Structure 1
């Protein structure tokens, strides 16, 4: 018969401790306020969107100048939409009437997926009708509703990408007597689901490859922002932090010969590839200068964790200016290289861009521009940077062509072999469409005044952004 072991006990500490009274609520609040670090002070910054801050600031300016401003921020108010309908849906798939994200477990998500795929079919289910209403509300561009509705469920693992793909293809087979047409899918919802899943898998493999294979001169790191994969690099461990932000159509490789040189001067250098560019993910969403400014804000708060010297090139300079203007505590200084945007000496009214559905014309223009860039990328770079044309080498041109080109029939074959990838990134056309909806109407001098810190501007005569905006 075995004797059970005695319960373990900790040795007593021979330390006399004087116990006092419990602190009051006011004392606790005072302690938390005094001990709060700069990092914790930044947490509330992420709770307010760039559009909300700009709308409030610009409305104050317009009131002072006597100009009436629109009360709409450019987006549809889902709360008002459902408040007018007065409906309370039983077995709703959403957390609230204003929510546009499917919530619940796997069974609820699968039911929502079935409702999404059968969007064009009639239904008597109130919960399915509610989801169909959300589809119409979030379809700002073809297929954009899928990521909005099911993105959080996929990110949290409530449902796997493989399961979504299986259910979608099975539904397509059932609609077509067991066959899959080589000319495309039968419904736009099936197309949206398949494209989104394949795109997510493509960029996950790109991220995995960057961790397995050595690419470029510096180690590539992966950061997930709102469920999307973002590539960045960091060199140096001491000194002030410097964040390098590239321009349109580029990536962190734009600064391949600057990162080490700046780090050697005693700085910790960060370089990021913005969402929609390079090998960062290109989701089917509306891209704007405000979206990218929020990306920089969250990167500084979550990754860098200290104020940075913001360095931006081209449209990256304009994005850095917005970031420094809206959240000045995050920026030590602002360095703009051939920045986009303009200076308006005496502005009285500043319009705020509206977010809406992209037009078919923008889509057509984007695809034509893609074909042009694919054939002329090297020539354009040499034309606008004529001093040292040898810097426009094959690796740089190949990376730009790969990142700004799109081919829906991309293949993952030979993906991990050490050779040039022959396929192009899914979602590139969506990013190019944003060129035709860019709103650079907010004057740079307004952004500079809001920032109030040190600014260095380096501008040249030839600027590629001017060519793209023509």
Structure 2
């Protein structure tokens, strides 16, 4: 929804979808007590460290401890090949670190619930420690583990799961956490100090600890556990939108793979490099390796004669696609796997800042851009983690709100319905999944399974420091369909969401049954007209975009109610306080200015009629004819002239017909899906 009109400025868990209303069983948080008798199991997932690990510290109170990592294909399937490499390097260091402290790391393959139930029975465990999660898939797996533990009958009682987390801030009551980042900042909460760990209790019996696998073992294990569509769809995820469109739409330009964030730089000394994977573009290895790279990153301005630090500095320059973006590009995977904690990064950055300033922190900001980038990144990630956790605890409404992690970032989505065709709803700029508030359940009640996603950079989804492009969002939708929905979908998009949907249909048509474009962004041009396409890596921020985004944010906050109401010319009451307040809430989130900067570099140069050329028989256009943002009459006229076989429905509505006249839109979409599905079953074209 481009609800916003702007002043001009220069410049695999597919089966999980069957449980939309699942509520996870409660598990207790651990409160440290005196030394506990019995045996504890510590289940590592993406907390691959001994440094600053509250779970290990709590588990050390037990007489006996068995740490374990389970290679569960449901968890590993979320990782790219490079992330799998990082997992192996992280586990090597974790095992060594545990052994140095008197313990060890057990390695097992299989479903976590079966493995942990068997181990708990064998060692007569009284407690299983696990990190608290916000991702739906992991919460689901943990709930299944908990149910399996309840089946164990041993003299000491049923083993319990104790959840732990690394408290970045000292938040007393999470349910009362402010939903607005502005209000949260007013609390001025202090960041807590990282924990130190000395020794750990060992296991009191002889155990088969298992050997660490090599990379080929993991790939073989994953291949043997793929779902029916896994092989083909995994290959789909390897094709970037940029490469495909560069090859198909710009045949005169040589197509090549390019990264959104960095270019390849050969390592100087592989044995000493902190870039341990084959691609060598992100920091990896164990905690010491990552801390060494962090020290080099923070001290970029000082220069260095060390080869390993020089390599970090080269990668920093290459990945600085915009100010501060290099930190997440380089350290994001290590943070995502828990090789280093967010709290440790903050501690090291602030310690170095004090070293530079005689023990003081300046009220005017940080003395180095790298310090600012590190601190802002981890504080931002902590906020979105708290927000996601708060929403899970307070998730008592009729909708099931879930979290999916994409490339290390939290993405919010909603799901409804248990049977029928899969439908994915995509919002426009400035909106979020709940903008389909009166569509989700109506479509579900009509016999569909409905997902509504909040794109990266909007609503309660994370807003990282990356370069936002329409191709980035298209790849997010691709991965969501593959990893979460697990089958081809009917894609529905409003405004810029419609344009993104059209890109998905053009590039990965096998994932799409049909598309519904609601007042879609994008131009329609006469056939045989050549249009240039600039790639995401060509889009650089400037002083003008930096200033423009800040002026724009001020303008939007001041005029948001007036702007939104103009987009609802027929039923202005639909632009209600809830909608306005949620937009205002999101506008205070960390990272929102980065998202607004993308407005000045959006590239919609590929015409809409080119994008739907190969799927035009599967395209429904819903056009609000009183759209204040675009000339709907001209749009419909061009669509009729240059988009053959496209079905067009004209409505008496503004820019957001799905929210302004939801009953009409729901009926149209349901009839369309029924028609498409009937033709698919009959083997006829749409």
Assess if the C-alpha contact under 8 Å between 2:263 and 2:319 holds in 1: no
> Could you tell me which residue of structure 2 aligns to residue 442 of structure 1?
606
> Could you tell me which residue of structure 2 aligns to residue 48 of structure 1?
239
- 1:449 is displaced (CA, Å) by 1.4
Call closer, same or farther: CA 1:77–1:248 in 2, change over 3 Å.
Answer: closer
Question: Are 1:263 and 2:427 counterparts?
Answer: no
Give the alignment's TM-score, normalised by structure 1. Answer: 0.82
> Could you tell me which residue of structure 1 aligns to residue 343 of structure 2?
162
1:226 to 401, 407, 414: 407
| 3-state secondary structure, aligned to 2:553 | helix
Question: Are 1:144 and 2:329 counterparts?
Answer: no
> Could you tell me which residue of structure 2 aligns to residue 455 of structure 1?
619
- 1:41 is displaced (CA, Å) by 2.4
Call closer, same or farther: CA 1:87–1:224 in 2, change over 3 Å.
Answer: closer
- 1:36 is displaced (CA, Å) by 7.6
> Could you tell me which residue of structure 1 aligns to residue 310 of structure 2?
129
Assess if the C-alpha contact under 8 Å between 2:457 and 2:595 holds in 1: yes
| 3-state secondary structure, aligned to 2:302 | coil
Alignment of 1:33-432 (within 5 A): 37-60=228-251, 68-69=252-253, 78-79=263-264, 82=266, 87-88=268-269, 91-95=272-276, 99-214=280-395, 217-354=398-535, 355=537, 356-403=539-586, 405=587, 424-432=588-596
Q: Deviations over 1:346-387 (max 9, x none)?
A: 234232222242111111111111001101111111112121
- 1:59 is displaced (CA, Å) by 3.5
RMSD: 2.2
| 3-state secondary structure, aligned to 1:459 | strand
Assess if the C-alpha contact under 8 Å between 2:270 and 2:276 holds in 1: no
Q: Deviations over 1:426-470 (max 9, x none)?
A: 000000111111111101111111335411001234546659xxx
Cα distance between partner residues in 2 of 1:358 and 1:279: 24
> Could you tell me which residue of structure 1 aligns to residue 64 of structure 2?
none
Cα distance between partner residues in 2 of 1:183 and 1:229: 30
- 1:70 is displaced (CA, Å) by 6.0
Call closer, same or farther: CA 1:249–1:345 in 2, change over 3 Å.
Answer: same
5+ long unaligned stretches in structure 1 = 1-31, 61-67, 406-423
Cα distance between partner residues in 2 of 1:50 and 1:98: 20
Cα distance between partner residues in 2 of 1:365 and 1:464: 23
| 3-state secondary structure, aligned to 2:367 | coil
Assess if the C-alpha contact under 8 Å between 1:317 and 1:336 holds in 2: yes
- 1:105 is displaced (CA, Å) by 0.6
1:433 to 569, 573, 597: 597
Q: Deviations over 1:97-124 (max 9, x none)?
A: 8532001111110010000000000211
Call closer, same or farther: CA 1:137–1:249 in 2, change over 3 Å.
Answer: same
Give the alignment's TM-score, normalised by structure 2. Answer: 0.57
Cα distance between partner residues in 1 of 2:227 and 2:320: 42
- 1:394 is displaced (CA, Å) by 1.1
Assess if the C-alpha contact under 8 Å between 1:117 and 1:190 holds in 2: yes
